[in-house]
Chain A
Amino acid sequence: MLDYIISKYNFWIYVVLMMIGLYAMIGKKNLIKKLIGMNIFQSAMILFYVSIGVKAGATVPILSGHGHGHVHEVIEVAKYLNPLPHVLMLTAIVVSIATTGVALATLILIYRRYNTLEEDEILKIRKDTGV
Chain B
Amino acid sequence: MIWQLDLILCLFVLICAIAAINVKDLLAAVIILGAYSFFMCLLWTEMGAVDVAFTEASVGAGVGTVLFIAAVSKTKRRSKD
| CB neighbours of B43 from chain A (8 A) | 47
A-B contact pairs, 19 of them (CB 8 A): A9-B7, A9-B10, A10-B6, A17-B17, A32-B29, A32-B30, A33-B81, A36-B21, A50-B47, A54-B1, A60-B50, A81-B49, A89-B49, A89-B52, A97-B63, A100-B64, A108-B74, A111-B75, A117-B75
Residues in A lying within 8 Å of B, measured CB to CB: 9-10, 13, 16-17, 20-21, 23-24, 28-30, 32-33, 35-37, 39-40, 43, 46-47, 50-51, 53-54, 56, 58-61, 81, 85-87, 89-90, 93-94, 96-97, 100-101, 104, 107-108, 111, 116-118
Residues in B lying within 8 Å of A, measured CB to CB: 1, 6-7, 10-11, 13-14, 17-18, 20-21, 26, 29-30, 33, 36-37, 40, 43-44, 47-52, 55-56, 59-60, 63-64, 67-68, 70-72, 74-76, 79-81
